[in-house]
Amino acid sequence: MDSTLALQLLIQGILLGGLYGLIALGLSLIFGVMGVINFAHGQIMVIGMYFSYWIFVLLGIEPYLSLVIVSAGIFVLGYVIQSSVVNRILDYPEAMQVLPLVAIGIVLENTALLLWGPDHRSPHTAFSLDTIWLGDVMIDVSRLIAFSFAIIITFAIVIFLKKSNMGKRIRAAADNRMAATLVGINVSRINNFSFGLGAATTGAAGALLLPLMPLSPSLGHDFTLTAFIVVILGGMGNLVGALAGGLILGVAESMSTLFLPATLKQVVSFGILIVIMLFRPQGLLGGKK
Amino acid sequence: MSILNVTNLNKRFGGLTAISKLSFELGEGEILGLIGPNGAGKTTVFNCLSGFHTPDTGEMIFSGKSLLGMQPYQVCQAGLARTFQIVKPFLTISVLDNVMVGAMIRETSIKKAREASMEIIQWAGLGPMAHKEAEGLPLPLRKRLEMARALATRPKLLLLDEVMAGLNPTEVSEIIELIREVNQKGVSILLIEHVMQGVMALSERVLVINYGSRIAEGTPVEVVKNEKVIEAYLGKEFLNAQS
Amino acid sequence: MTRLYILLAVLLTILLLVPLFLETYVLGIFVMIFFYAYLGQSWNILTGYTGHISLGHALYVGVGAYTSTYLAQNYGLSPWIGMLVGGVFAVMIALFLGYLGFRFGLRGVYFVILTIAFAEITRLIVSHVEALGSFSGIFLDFNPSFWNFQFRGNVPYYYIALGFMVFSIIVVRILEISRAGRFMVAIREDEDAAQALGVNAFKYNMIAIALSAFMTSLAGTFYANYIFYLHPDTLFGMALSIELILRPIIGGLGTILGPVLGSFILTPLSEISRAYFTKGGFEGLHLILYGIIAVLVVLFMPKGVIYYVKKWLNPILRLDEKNQGYIEKGKEAEAES
């Protein structure tokens, strides 16, 4: 086995894993606060990717620079989804919660299809083709940047939730919805904000992902599943766990290409998922169930 | 003849000891009251007996058979039925269909199960609403439904978990009567209760537990005067103030 | 109750006579209506009755389709028999999945994700198996004959699909009034309470998933010999899994006629809007419409359309007739005591 190749795959896996972690962060946050599983998560990310693409193509602004605008835009999208649909289904039995979000995912995916067509798009953003060398190992610059942003954003969110007033309110609502209402917290608005925040982080992840892979409307479904796997790996509702889970999954997927064709690497991911669900359902770092 | 023999039961949840070295006996046909302050471990005892929790150590012999390792459905089939503290009706189906689920464990013929269920439903005073969805029932009736359902499984021992909570005095008296009738038909009863009226009226003996272990046992009258019991419920200060 | 049966008999008669009056294109829509009603009904057996949600039911459709096709193409085995073989495989996979899910106590979302994982893993593996067509899929030859489960024109398919649909309605009806079915409903409502009443939840969950998988896989064989093209993304993909749950949910989960009603509402809507919008070049618009309708129905008609239809038809059909007798008896008994 070629050790340079292995090392390379390891590093690429870590870098992509950080991004997976960012995508899953939003999902974990949404579940942690509202107990809702966002089946439209990947599709929201894809909208973020298209939004970022649009800005790049129309205005020539790099995804890394338009990150804040994209996040804000997707925040609004998330806010709207929560306030119009999800808030109403919070007390529904689980079967009835799954369908609306799956349906929203379908709507988002096909809106993208309608607006941009099914063709893959690979915009040539600033660093999309650049690489740097660390000894014998080749590293994609865009992956490195994405990873760095992902780590920064993840920790920013964690600190925000821990220290800020809004963050405390969010955590209160997550802990005990009724008690939070009793102390005067407007839980509906917190929910809207939380979903918006979760969506925004995923949208940002999308923007960071844009230089890394061809964009098409059907990408969403795979990323929803990836986000699920990461969240279950790390622990539902555990934000640092999302990052840890992302790194593990990124590495596992990457390294599996040493033995399997790349198109089968998802089998590895799902295999890991099943094992964790059976033997450690609370996730490696523990979380809400 | 004892129908239930619990010896040295222990159950911990992580760092919390829920039951500690608990032993007691229930005679056939007897009504034993199980009381204690909130969090004393009473429902955990029920959960261990009915197979929802596995005790760490200890033995539970029911009608000569050990309950250890039994799944909840096996415990019920062996003749030990229970109700839940927070009632669990099957909401979207009718009262009759609810009770029939219990009856069908004993009766493979649906027709016979239906007849047996209607009998119990009439007896429990739920006749007029036999076809109403359980969701539409107010709490006192849901409690009766819970009991009727458990009775449909023709238990030899019935565990009643706070069936009187949330009922007004009239409703409490009515349910006391029902429980008495059940006992007269030969069903032994283990009763967790906070409503003292019920405990005093029904129990032949009372077992008091606190922090998972027994602190007193005896007739209702004896137990109520017991110093340790008073201390457990009302605190040391009260006890000191009394003397 | 009898009035309901009369109504259903009338509707069935109408459906039996329809092919005499309608053209092939419209018959094709009916075939799809029956097909999806059948699939939805089969799925309903698991999710509507035990409450365990499966978002990977396409797995069984694929198993049925690929098994019967492989056996037909390589061994000349009639798809009618291949269909049953596929059913056996589907049951085996379902029991495995069920074992993992139910023994390990995977509830709610975890179970959902398990079902998705199984479907996706199968899709990926089949995409790599040469003998099963790999990435390009399998084309079926058109050799019409009863034995080959292939026919000219839509009329035979219409009647077969109708037969499947009626069959599924009968199965669910038998299940609903059976002991097993009642236990399944109890499990759905409250698994712990059911266990405390002596119901072996594991056993009945397994029965439900096995039956559901078996029936679903039969539809796979029908699909293969109607569409003549198999591709892993279509047959094991989430799109199909989602498609087949929409109708029972919109029609009414856990009811006998809900999936059927849902299919009669949604399938024509889907076909017509797809034809209409794709012609105008608006790819995907019909799916957006779909998604919005699904959301609206869940928000404003959570019990499904059938619930409101029943209420509306009750005065005419007098569905409560059976119950009236008991309620009278109950009142008499009360009055006596």
Write down the domain spans for chain A.
Answer: 3-117+135-279
Which among C53, C106, C128 is the nearest to A95, CB-wise? C53
Is C196 in contact with B84 (Cβ distance < 8 A)?
Answer: yes
Chains touching C (3+ CB pairs < 8 Å)? A, B
Between CA C253 and CA C49 the distance in angstroms is 8
Is A278 in contact with C106 (Cβ distance < 8 A)?
Answer: yes
Chains touching A (3+ CB pairs < 8 Å)? C
Is C197 in contact with B50 (Cβ distance < 8 A)?
Answer: no
pLDDT recorded at residue C320: 55
Mean pLDDT, rounded, for C208-225:
96
pLDDT per residue as tens digits for the range B187-203: 999 999 988 888 889 99
Length of chain B: 243
Which among A94, A105, A264 is the nearest to C128, CB-wise? A264
**Chain C contact present for B150, CB below 8 A:** yes
Instruction: Go through the domains of chain C in sequence order and give each one's CATH number.
Output: 2-319 (1.10.3470)
Mean pLDDT, rounded, for C110-139:
90
A and B: touch, per 3+ CB pairs < 8 A? Answer: no
Among residues A43, A38, A22, the alpha carbon closest in space to that of A218 is found at A43
Angle formed by the axes of helices A165-175 and A187-209, nearest 10°: 110
Looking at domain B2-88+155-242, which CATH architecture does it have?
Answer: 3-Layer(aba) Sandwich (3.40)
- Say yes or no to pLDDT of C327 above 70: no
pLDDT per residue as tens digits for the range A65-119: 889 999 999 999 999 999 999 988 888 877 678 889 999 999 999 999 888 888 8
Q: Are B161 and B83 in contact (CB under 8 A)?
A: yes
**Chain A contact present for C108, CB below 8 A:** yes
Nearest Cα of chain B lies from the Cα of C323 at a distance, in angstroms, of 7
What residues of C are in contact with residue B48 (Cβ under 8 Å)? none
Which pLDDT band holds residue C31 (cuts at 50, 70, 90)?
very high
Phi-psi domain of A12 (left: phi exceeds 0; alpha: psi -120 through 50; beta: other) = alpha
- Say yes or no to pLDDT of C321 above 70: no
Residue showing tokens 């097909």: C35
Closest chain A residue to C296, measured at CA? A100
Which pLDDT band holds residue C221 (cuts at 50, 70, 90)?
very high
Q: Where are the domains of chain B?
A: 2-88+155-242
**Bridge partners of residue C198, in order along the sequence:** none
Mean pLDDT, rounded, for A272-284:
90
pLDDT recorded at residue B243: 59
The DSSP secondary-structure symbol of C100 reads I
pLDDT recorded at residue C108: 82
CATH number of A3-117+135-279: 1.10.3470
Q: Which of residues 131-160 of C touch A (CB under 8 A)?
A: none
- Say yes or no to pLDDT of A251 above 60: yes
Size of interface B-C (CB pairs under 8 A): 92
Nearest Cα of chain C lies from the Cα of A98 at a distance, in angstroms, of 9
**What ipTM describes this predicted complex?**
0.90
**Chain B contact present for C177, CB below 8 A:** yes
Mean pLDDT, rounded, for B34-49:
89
Q: Are C119 and C241 in contact (CB under 8 A)?
A: yes
- Say yes or no to pLDDT of C67 above 90: yes
Is A267 in contact with C121 (Cβ distance < 8 A)?
Answer: yes
- Which helix H or strand E contains B192, and what residues bound it? strand B188-192
Between CA B4 and CA B184 the distance in angstroms is 18
Which pLDDT band holds residue A249 (cuts at 50, 70, 90)?
very high
Which pLDDT band holds residue C280 (cuts at 50, 70, 90)?
low
Q: Which residue has the higher pLDDT, C167 or A1?
A: C167
Among residues C77, C150, C142, C124, the alpha carbon closest in space to that of C238 is found at C124
Which among C185, C192, C326 is the nearest to B130, CB-wise? C326
Nearest Cα of chain A lies from the Cα of C49 at a distance, in angstroms, of 12
* Strands, sheet with B57-62, edge to edge from the N-terminal-most edge strand: B16-27, B2-13, B57-62, B65-66
Return mean pLDDT, chain C. Answer: 88
Per-residue CA distances from B172 to B163, B181, C99 (Å): 9, 14, 44
Mean pLDDT, rounded, for C180-196:
94
Which among B50, B89, B129 is the nearest to C196, CB-wise? B50
